[in-house]
A and B are shown apart, each in its own frame.
Chain A
Amino acid sequence: MPAIVLQMLCVAGLLGSAVLAIVLSRSKIATPIIYSATLAASAIALIASIHWLLGDTANATDLTFPIGLPWLGAHFRLDALASFFLVVVNLGGATASLYGLGYGHHEEAPQRVLPFFPAFLAGMNLVVLADDAFSYLLCWEFMSLVSWALVMAHHREAGNAKAGYVYLVMASFGTLALLLAFGLLAGPAGDYGFAAIRTAQHTPYVATLVLILMLLGAGSKAGLVPLHVWLPLAHPAAPSHVSALMSGVMTKVAIYGFIRVVFDLLGQPLWPASVVVLILGGITAVMGILYAMMENDLKRLLAYSTIENVGVIFASLGLALAFQANGLKLLAALAFTAALFHVLNHSFFKSLLFFGAGAVLTATGERDMDKLGGLIHRMPFTSFAVLMGCVAISALPPFNGFVSEWLMFQAVLHSPELPQWALKVTVPAVGALLALAAALAAACFVKAYGVTFLGRPRGVAAETAEEVDRYSLSAMFVLAALCLLAGILPGLVIDALSPITLQILGGRMPIQINEPWLSIAPIAESRSSYNGLLVMVFITISASSAVVFIHRFASRALRRGPAWGCGFSDPTPAAQYSGGSFAQPIRRVFGTLVFHARDHVEMPTPGDIRPARLRIELHDLIWEGMYQPIAGAVGLSSAWLNRLQFLTIRRYLSLVFATLVALLLVLAIWS
């Protein structure tokens, strides 16, 4: 059986479970049945796509259904790039299903989630497999609509309706941009098959327009600043395992669309294009993580951090474009591999962290970090898994996040080989932005983990939290193990990605599996190499010897005495370091510029029994400067046009008449 048929059967299975979910809608057993079905389908698809990616990737397989446009049909194709993204989608799908087996029991209205969850997975699979513009757009819209339904699952909660609305508007805008991009790609001949688009010659003018439209279309779905506004609203609004899918997987599907069009369909890129992508990526990374740093809502923080990671990926893609435009195939492959590796990594740890946030939400009913704290004592397993995720996303060795960022910086360090001065200047500047983002990410996740899991509980909910069920925990631990594995065995991943770089860029990185002791050397061992295993062994040995040393020798002289309370005799848990206080230094440094942040201290006059208050004023300048004026203009013009609804019949006739005469006049004057 060809590999694509198996993938399509899995998709059919997912769609079938969506139908089954409608049939079973209110029954008690629906939740375990549906999640088991999606788990099975995703797992089969995952194994099949891994098998195909590691095996014979030279022969892409096609499948055409006689549906859709009559002269076109619906084309689907499995090639190396698609199979990699199928791995990402189905790994996310499988772990989210596993998590859902436990988490789904806490859902108060499962009939709002169950039909859409498998359909969402099916939609993402189909987008990746689509091989003509029509099927691609159709599946893309299907994915957007179904995910919108999932965002609206808890539509009565405050803010979710707005999130759904903003998401819908931005998704329509993005699809419009994609529609125009594919229209330009197909050209006047109008052959919408990807095969025809790939062989066609595109003028630089068309290529530039398509790149801009793809940045708008795919970028708005992936969360590029300043098109990201819907993302921190919509992703946290969905149930947590869906948030994980949206953040960890759907943004990757958008990145897939960008790669497919800009790298695959457009052919040889132009170097100025890479400058745009690089700068947008760098700004997105820094802005995303600064937003995340200011956030006290756990799920929103994770959503903002997704924006940062998307920025990192886009910056790597921009690097790959720059190298590819100058024919430096090895370096392009290096940057491209870094981007794909980061795609994979981010899907691991962002899913893991959203699962963790969901576990916290289940256990405490709280998303606000300033009401949590001390969960490491109540939920030790969740805390451990989330700690692994936090370390990974902060790009600390020996976890996977370090490897992909390290690869990316290796590519950045090769920027002097680029001939254009604009790139010679831009690439290191963007590299500095990315380094800043990486450092801020570490600070952000120290804050997220420290405030949520360490310290003392800040409320009853956190004090009485219970560890979550085994399914949720196993999903988290699977992902945590994958984070570690990809970190210590990066060579395997890089080798698995090489068929894609060969297919897309025509070059590849050196084979890594032959390097001694599982180390990786992106260009040559003389220049740079990294060994995750060695780092882990070193960290393990040094940490355990330090622990042994402290416990054996330092603590031997046991003394008991009153703890020094920093001058406060009985501090309440509310007096602990909070999320806001942790973010304050960074708010002081960057916030005044980026957020127009102001701290207002309200001191009561002596004798007044009112407590003193610290109020923090933050402005989302992108929302206020870009979206609010647009919304205002739309509101004004629609209020004005609304008068047309209430004209008399004669006025309507006169309007038609006047329009006709005006058009005729235009014709008379111009022709």
Chain B
Amino acid sequence: MAQVSSISNEQSPTAKSVTLKISRYNPEHDESSQFMEFPVKYDQLSTFLEAILDVKKHFDHSVAVRYSCRQATCGSCGMIINGKPRLACFTKISELDSNVITVEPMNNFPVIRDLAVKFEKLFDTHQKIKPYLIRDDTELVSDEKEFLQTPEEVEQYIQFANCIKCGLCNSACPTMATDSSFVGPQALAQAYRYVADSRDKGKDSRLKIIDDSHGIWRCHFAGSCSQVCPKGVDPAMGIQLLRGYMLGFRS
């Protein structure tokens, strides 16, 4: 394990210090991952993404991390922080109340380098469940101009429309930990999002897609996906409600 000596930075005089243990791994020439320690200063509002960017600026610019919006909207900066999947831009260092914090790439995703992981499979499974409204007519040709919904109908799915495809739920899922063919909580929750939408007519085709031994039946309701979701989507609820449709508990 390597350690980098501390340097002063431009933080406020009230800033505290924490040691970030960042997992370093380059699949092109490393056999295994190694942790590197970086002492960083932080204040009450500093996020992990800011700390990692500080590390890149002051210590080692080669630390690989994916990020974009810095405000929990793009879903790019998911990583394992102190053992749990979290968004780096949405997690304050002061929340964890620890002097040494480990930062690793998300589990159940192939690692590109260091903290950056591949999202291809996540997007593939998301696309597989047809994440769009299915119906014969469209708003463009319909006389109604738009498909009206009551507020109650919107409530049925709007929570699940908050998904930012960050992959934290798939990283926390115990089934994903061992089953490489499992569709995953992200895609299943999105299947519910469209099945519950009163404008959508594609329920049967979607249920057929997820009615598979590696589909919805592999969810065992551990609920870890819902606990780590940074947007309050609650995939576990969506999956159980969706299974309720399939078992005939719901209409």
**A, B from the same assembly:** no
